[in-house]
A and B are shown apart, each in its own frame.
Chain A
Amino acid sequence: MTDSRIRLGVDIGGTFTDVVLEKGGEQFSTKVLTTYIAPENGIIDGMNQVCAKAGIEPAEIGQIIHGTTLATNALIERRGAKTALITTDGFRDVIEMRTESRFEQYDLNLSLPEPLLPRYQRYTLPERINALGEVMVALDPNKVDAMVDRITAAGYESVAVGFLHSYINDSHERQVRDAFAAKAPQIMVSLSSEVSPQMREYERFNTAVANAYIKPLMKSYLGRLEQRLRDQGVACSIFLMHSGGGIISIESAAEFPVRLVESGPAGGAVFAADIAAKYGVDKVLSFDMGGTTAKICLIKDQTPKTSRVFEVARTYRFKKGSGMPISIPVIDMVEIGAGGGSLAHVDSMRQIRVGPESAGSEPGPACYARGGTQPAVTDADLVLGKLDPENFAGGSIRLNISNSEKALAESLGNELNMDAQTAAYGLVEVVDENMGNAARVHAVENGEDLSEYTMIAFGGAAPLHAGRLCEKLGVKRLLVPKGAGVGSAIGFLRAPFSFEANRSVFMRLSNFDASKISSLISELEQEATGFVQECIEGESSLSISAEYKVYMRYSGQGWEIPVSLTGAQAKEANQETFKRLFEEQYITLFGRPVEGMDIEITVWAVNATTPLPKPDLAETLRSRSKADQALSRSLFDPAIGESLKASIVDRNIMADGDYVDGPAAITEDETTIIVPSSRTAIKQPDGCIDVIVKAPVNLN
């Protein structure tokens, strides 16, 4: 009954649950409110809606791919299970002592985030393994049994086990799990050596604790979801999007729920990567701007950049260090507190500051006329002519421009002796500059030059700011795809099955051991492909390929840089090749190599993945006819510093190849694309709006 051409993508976000159904080449989507108490209800509702639109029964769906913020929210809101940590004697406070530093140097009243588990939920056992993986103090089975009894008697649902150096030798951690399996199988156990087998105890223990903490909740949710879907007649397999941008089975997701953290934004990056593939562009900056935050990701060769550690639940103005580190393979994104609802104020140096405080949806920006009095980014966008007060969100909210002007004048203008329009100009320039700076720093950290990049923008607020951001970053081309409002859910349908296995094993090039490398690589490859195999069982048409990566540095440095290897380079490892590849990468990043230093490898990673669905290359058109632009309004152009007469064009009535020269606003229900004076926008046959640098005026 199931039809493999019918696929459903579901993204549970903070406010909305987005559902997208693809049937052959057709796409049907809907947004329903997220139902916090039982999120599966929203999914069922949305699924039934899109099935009705498509004229199919749920039983016909061939595959469901799901991503969710539930795991992230459970960590942020501290709504996890009753969880215990068992760790090495003498190290009970690792997750509380963090890095022993303050993430904000000048705040005398700083508070550090509370650890996920308080001290009385952290237990220790005498045991010790050294940095070489040798057992120095053996784990006493009687003490383990006594610990299991104590944990069981206290009624814990979930346990994390984190011992020092377990990433090299996991025998003690496994011993504890076996004891629970024998005596208390009802208690869920997460081992740090499995959840995050990497050096650095704080990150590893914290990741294991986070996994244990959300495991009962996620396991139960995923179980309920599957049951409800089956009740609706759904017969196909259900998969989960993970933070690394790939898909895993529902069973793996229940075992390692921490890997679901940030799966929604990961879907957005995959969505952008797919557009990149369609357009054949190799260097892409994806820019996702919503109501409260903006996310920026580098996508090279149609693959989003990944990282091994990130922070969730930042407690202090999105400041680095104020959250908790989660050490898992993740799509590397910069998130800053800049969205349509971000509020502006004037600081003591009479500078305009924007965000991270947000007006949210209640009261919302001043122009919503729901009681908001502080100016938000949306208010400035409105005053500058970027938004049409009568046609916001498809006309569902009528924006009140005089409220915006009042808020801008009172909060910014009076302090700075500026009129409302100049204050609005200042506000958007500051927020665009903040986003530009975040993108620049991210590019520098990765040794990239943004002027060679194409930007792909999605999310409600992104098209309003993307054009200016391109000017600031020297980016010459901007693509605003169709369906940008449900980008993450579409991204889920474009993701490959994938799983990255990695291990911290130190090796200096002066001590190069090719046979050790070969066995390590094949072990990692087996682990990674095993997970993927589990997903695609029965679908023999899919092949699994592996990508190999090592993290290297000069001996004595603390930061590694990733170096990609081909299969041959990884399996028939050769010292000279490793050195050459590392130095090439180092020079790209930092200009010159360091002579005469030994080089070491710290982390080994193998990512197994099914091939990406081959997108049809988009046919790109040159501009050939001017779009109908009878309408116009006044639009402020910050690069010029003046208001100009701008064309207003409805995206839906633009024909393929139609173009409009900036300054212009291309309107649609969900958002408005602002085309700066320096650019021209062309409607491509796949619905993308392609915004490029204006051709020089032909003087002949």
Chain B
Amino acid sequence: MNTVSNQSSGATLNTVTKQVMWNRLISVVEEQAQALIRTAFSTSVREAGDLSAGVYDEKGRMLAQAVTGTPGHVNAMAASVAHFIREIGVENMFEGDVYLTNDPWKGTGHLHDITVVSPSFFDGKLIGFFAATSHVVDIGGRGFGADAASVYEEGLYIPIMKLIDRNDVNQSLVNLIRANVREPDQVVGDIFALATCNGIGHDRLVEMMVEFSLEDLREISAFILENSKRATLERISSLQKGASIGKLTIDGYDNPIQLQANLEIQDQKVICDFTGSSGLDKKGINVPLVYTQAYACYALKCAIAPEIPNNAASLAPFEITAPENCILNALHPAPVALRHVVGQLIPDTVYNALDQILPETVPAEGSSTLCNFQLSLRPRTDQTPPPGARRGEVLTFNSGGAGARPTKDGLSATAFPSGVMTMPVEATEHAGPVIIWRKELKPDSGGVGKFRGGLGQFMDVGALEGHEFDFQAMFDRVNHPAKGRQGGGEGAATVIVRDNGEKMRGKGKQFVPHGQRVCLEFPGGAGYGQVGERSKDKIRDDFAKGYISKEQALTQYGLDQKDISQIESVIESGEFDKI
């Protein structure tokens, strides 16, 4: 009797310990990510959170991943570790090794992302891997932009190889990288930051192994994967079954691009295939399949199983496919540097399909693609520049409005699906001779509806006296603004002009002479539901806060002149909240 009860309680107690270990692994990868942010050089990692970090079992199955700003890395990095195991071979892996690649098809979709993988040994035995990815400031080639015709023009291509072999740094590789990039110190610094953060993850893992007297990760791995799989399958099987097609037309580089998601919810899985999407583009906006899978999967997980952590088992029931050499499954050597511009519109495409099966779940379309641009500033060339004029490379991340939700307005100037942050204007102005003259919300840019789309933003950009610059545009939604759901209105489109009124293109490198500014209007999110159903209180609130103008309030939301005058007088006294 006694023995039996001890055994059964032993089995359950074990479950408690395993829960504790699962929590610990999640905390280990969060530490890994923090270490990377604190030691990284590129602004996209340290200010904006464009990175990922995770831990894998000895078979390369992802056990835990840090929640960072990059859904684009969600399962790409997981697939990546499998490539490392296959190409290097377990028999060639040793303590003190570190491997890397920036292969867009075996990493995370473009040459600018470097993935570093470190094997974890415990008591001389390989027990798992740590991997981390971040975006480096430069990788040579034409620089960060869409203008290349093939991946060969986009920069240095590092196949899967050893960066460190049994604690010996491969100096030839480091020299080769240094010689091929514009900012060698920073790029090499970032690569070592990736190795450092894997090392910190490994140290924490070893502490856990000792504390719990573990010999390997097999048991905890099985526990995590089993529980995650069951939770995900339970969630999927509770969904309405069905199939639907979602479409989205976007700007493209020279010609519009059609995206199509063919979605099917089955009992045990969700299938999303992109047959019907446009073919490859000539310019570097093509998307490798890993990146397509990441964003499609992210969109589905947000809608279906948001709280289940990412790992091999929770991601497995989402099957994402696309025909070879369509724009969403670009094969080598297609140019892919700006794969995010198209890739970040995948969630809207998927939601256009999902909305037909699971109504009242997903948001209306949003600005979706980040409104990023890069400036290459230099001393003016039309005249002798003043002393002190200098060169500078400045990359900024910005966001338009997100789509309205079934029960809430869209978020203004907030990234979705990307999770990155913007850089402070004051920090950007320290990075190079640039002046941001304006960065504020754009009224009337949110699509009208029962729930209003998030507002886009105005941004005016110039250079310090004595400088001119090339403006590298990476925008979409110039000709194809976000569309509403359930009768909601369109979000405002992207606008890009010089301050002399001359129009500029949404993509590609464009020269801006001395003394001129670029005036940007980032797009708004679309509305959800009929505008006639919007509550009067919300309309008055929007007008008081300046989210909508007097004209829009009168013509589209139906406020009358009396309302307008009343609100105008109370906001002048700063007391709208009191009425």
Residues of A within 8 A of B (CB): 82, 84, 89-94, 96-97, 99-102, 105-112, 118-121, 128, 130-131, 136, 153-156, 164-165, 199-202, 347-352, 416-418, 422, 425-426, 429-430, 433-434, 437, 440-441, 444-445, 472, 474, 506, 554, 556-559, 561, 589-592, 594, 596-597, 641
Contacts and interface: CB of A to CB of B under 8 A. Distances in A.
B422 A101 contact: yes
A440 B31 contact: yes
A611 B35 CA distance: 35
B34 A594 contact: no
B303 A108 contact: yes
A5 to B, nearest CB: 47
Interface stretch (B14-22, B120-128, B268-276, B466-474): B14-22
A45 to B, nearest CB: 34
A30 to B, nearest CB: 40
Nearest to A559: B38
Nearest to B306: A106
Contacts of A96: 412, 441
Given A119-B545, A557-B40, A82 B440 contact: no
Given A130-B435, A559-B37, A120 B307 contact: no
Contacts of A429: 16-17, 19-20
A692 to B, nearest CB: 20
A118 B438 contact: no
Contacts of B464: 130
B91 interface: no
A91 B440 contact: yes
Nearest to B371: A100
A96 B196 CA distance: 36
14 contacts: A92-B440, A94-B439, A96-B412, A100-B398, A106-B302, A108-B405, A110-B411, A118-B544, A120-B545, A200-B424, A348-B234, A426-B16, A558-B40, A641-B10
A437 B23 contact: yes
B329 interface: no
Minimum-distance CB pairs A-B, first 3: A558-B46, A90-B438, A106-B306
Contacts of A417: 12
A429 B430 CA distance: 47
B27 interface: yes
A591 B228 contact: no
Contacts of A153: 573
A128 B16 CA distance: 59
A90 B439 contact: yes
B368 to A, nearest CB: 13
Interface stretch (B155-163, B247-255, B320-328, B413-421): B413-421
B421 A101 contact: yes
Contacts of A202: 424
Interface in B372-404: 397-399
Contacts of B27: 437, 440-441
Interface string B17-59: 1011011100100110011011111110011010000000000
B426 A108 contact: no
B235 interface: yes
A366 to B, nearest CB: 20
Contact of A441 (B30, B42, B43, B425): B30
B141 interface: no
A101 B69 contact: yes
Interface in B157-199: 183, 185-186, 189, 192, 196, 199
Given A120-B544, A200-B426, A559-B38, A101 B308 contact: no
B90 interface: no
A434 B27 CA distance: 9
B34 A441 contact: yes
Nearest to B442: A93
A84 B571 CA distance: 12
Nearest to A434: B23
A99 B46 CA distance: 13
Nearest to B370: A100
Contacts of B24: 433, 437
A351 B414 contact: no
A148 B299 CA distance: 49
Contact of A107 (B185, B306, B412, B576): B306
A559 B441 contact: no
B13 A641 contact: yes
A558 B183 CA distance: 16
A130 B235 contact: no
A445 B39 CA distance: 11
Size category, B interface: 35 or more
A219 B49 CA distance: 40
A325 B228 CA distance: 35
B440 A100 contact: no
A351 B18 CA distance: 10
A347 B228 CA distance: 11
B67 interface: yes
A351 B306 contact: no
Contact of B421 (A100, A426, A474): A100
A169 to B, nearest CB: 12
| Chain A interface, DSSP helix/strand/loop, else mixed | loop
Contacts of A119: 441, 545-547
Contacts of A592: 192, 196
B359 interface: no
Interface string B478-502: 0000000000000000000000000
A369 B426 CA distance: 55
A100 B42 CA distance: 19
B579 to A, nearest CB: 12
Contact of B31 (A108, A109, A416, A444): A444
A441 B438 contact: no
Given A99-B422, A108-B363, A130-B429, A349 B30 contact: no
B545 A118 contact: yes
> Which of B23, B40, B576 has most chain A Cβ within 10 Å?
B23
Contacts of A590: 35, 38-39, 196, 200
A157 B547 CA distance: 25
Contacts of B17: 429
A76 to B, nearest CB: 17
A554 B307 CA distance: 37
B570 to A, nearest CB: 9
A119 B440 CA distance: 11
Contact of B426 (A131, A348, A426, A596): A131
Given A90-B437, A130-B464, A422 B16 contact: yes
Interface in B326-340: none
B308 A91 contact: no
A120 B40 contact: no
A201 to B, nearest CB: 5
B573 to A, nearest CB: 5
B574 A416 contact: no
Nearest to B299: A108
B457 interface: yes
Contacts of B422: 97, 99-101
B301 interface: yes
Contacts of A105: 67, 69, 71, 419
Given A105-B67, A106-B301, A90 B460 contact: yes
A559 to B, nearest CB: 4
B237 interface: no
A641 B186 CA distance: 50
A93 B440 contact: yes
Contacts of B10: 641
Given A101-B422, A201-B424, A426-B19, 10 more contacts: A100-B397, A101-B421, A108-B302, A199-B424, A348-B308, A418-B12, A472-B211, A557-B38, A557-B40, A558-B427
Contacts of A156: 574
B416 to A, nearest CB: 7
B222 interface: no
Nearest to A155: B573
Interface string B213-240: 0000000000000011011001100000
B43 to A, nearest CB: 7
A34 to B, nearest CB: 27
